[in-house]
Structure 1
Amino acid sequence: MGRKIGYARVSTHDQELDLQVDALLKSGCSKKLIFKDKISGAKKSRPGLDKCLENLSPHDTLIVWRLDRLGRSMSHLVNLIESLLEKNIGFKSIQDCAIDTTTASGELMFNIFSALAQFERRLIQERTQAGLSAARARGKFGGRPRKSINDPKVKMAQEMYKNKKMSINEICSSLEISRATFYRYISLADEINGQTDV
């Protein structure tokens, strides 16, 4: 049997961790193996959680008071628990009694969560694709809008380039643009010339 390691989190410094810590102690976690954060769950980096995950070894069980104390989102939660299972680390949520991957029924429940998270990801992808297709059908395309040949900055870049008094780097520095943007501005003139020559 491995150790029981606890993780507790509240969103702000005004909130207290006592309720969660007491519940983790009752579940068999020792005080020195309870890691804590006072930080929003939306933050990617959580020092307490990072330390907690570093301390987990095969056959240990990570215990939280409630699922939302651990994951930023359904998909983040599922990915995190899946990575624990791959390392032979159990997971248990005290308030969400059905989620206990150390039992067969709890593992089944987690698999249902995992399927729901995958379903959610697919729905988001489908909505995104449908939105892009609808926008393309209306003649709208993603990305940065193209600069016009009549844009003052484009004209200035072209004039400076024609004068040949400044290097490309100097022109870019003067106009505060990248080399890629500079070449895009120059190519606009070539496109216009190409169209008038036809």
Structure 2
Amino acid sequence: MLVGYARVSTIDQNLDLQRDALLSAGCDKIFTDIASGVQDSRLGLTEALNYLRSGDTLVVWKLDRLGRSLKHLIETVNALAAKSISFHSLQENLDTTTSGGKLIFHLFGALAEFEREVIRERTRAGLKAARARGHKGGRPRKLDASSLNMAKLLISEGSTSVTEICRTLRVSRSTLYRCIGKNNCVTPEANSTEAEAST
């Protein structure tokens, strides 16, 4: 069974184009959302994922309709594959029922991991070089774009504590929370060391 999923970001946008394309592709049922792609909670997507059964195929108009990021897209498609559910993106003509489609997603995963490792290495090298030049000044008042992206990446991966991120980037916990938003900084040790933010 082909199950479609369509999403637009605002109520000013129209779902008709995506819905028509999904119907033309043979989708028997279509779930929709009017929500930004960065939102964690999308009711239509959740309903679609719960509706799918082994042997079904989830169909979207474009890849960016499904994933909040490349990492999220890969995780979602891999979760579907674990349940023997296929994935098809119409615009990119990407179909995981084919060997070529499966290969492309493996490459996506490898590239995403490569990008994360490059960012980590550059950040560590930059910090090491700064220390070697004797740059040991006080903590900066705010994060620059590169450091902010690095912090977001490390938090999303969940493998590095907020305390360690703050120590590496030489910022206080409160500064990190202000820059990223406290809701994105949920880690097991966050609550137990909340008092550190003001020290």
TM range (shorter): 0.5 to 0.7
Partner of 2:23: 25
- In structure 1, the gaps of 5 or more residues are 146-177, 186-198
Instruction: Report the Cα distance in structure 1 between the residues aligned to 2:40 and 2:194, rounded to whole angstroms.
Output: 34
Query: Radius of gyration: which is bigger?
Result: 1
Deviations 1:153-183 (A, max 9, x none): xxxxxxxxxxxxxxxxxxxxxxxxx9957xx
Number of positions where the alignment pairs a residue of Structure 1 with one of Structure 2: 146
Instruction: Report the Cα distance in structure 2 between the residues aligned to 1:5 and 1:21, rounded to whole angstroms.
Output: 11
Instruction: Report the Cα distance in structure 2 between the residues aligned to 1:179 and 1:76, rounded to whole angstroms.
Output: 28
Within-5 A mapping of 1:41-56: 41-56=37-52
Instruction: Report the Cα distance in structure 2 between the residues aligned to 1:26 and 1:179, rounded to whole angstroms.
Output: 53
- What SS does the corresponding residue of 2:36 show, helix, strand or coil? coil
Matched, 1:81 2:77: yes
Instruction: Report the Cα distance in structure 1 between the residues aligned to 2:194 and 2:6, rounded to whole angstroms.
Output: 50
Cα RMSD for the two superposed structures: 2.4
Within-5 A mapping of 1:144-159: 144=172
Q: CA deviation at 1:19?
A: 0.5
CA contact (8 A) 1:78 1:113 kept: yes
CA contact (8 A) 1:36 1:49 kept: yes
Partner of residue 33 from structure 2, selected from 37, 52, 61: 37
Instruction: Report the Cα distance in structure 2 between the residues aligned to 1:131 and 1:58, rounded to whole angstroms.
Output: 47
**Aligned partner of 2:136: which letter?**
G
User: Identity, % of aligned pairs?
Assistant: 52
122-131 or 75-84, larger mean C-alpha shift: 122-131
Partner of 2:9: 11
Partner of 1:70: 66
Instruction: Report the Cα distance in structure 2 between the residues aligned to 1:89 and 1:81, rounded to whole angstroms.
Output: 9
**Aligned partner of 1:132: which letter?**
L
Partner of 2:104: 109
Q: CA deviation at 1:144?
A: 2.5
Q: CA deviation at 1:94?
A: 0.3
CA contact (8 A) 1:8 1:35 kept: yes
Partner of 2:91: 95
Instruction: Report the Cα distance in structure 2 between the residues aligned to 1:61 and 1:12, rounded to whole angstroms.
Output: 26
Residues 62 and 133 of structure 1: is their aligned pair in 2 closer, same or farther, counting only changes over 3 Å? same
- What SS does the corresponding residue of 1:35 show, helix, strand or coil? strand
Deviations 1:19-75 (A, max 9, x none): 100111111112xx2110111101111111111111111111100000011111111
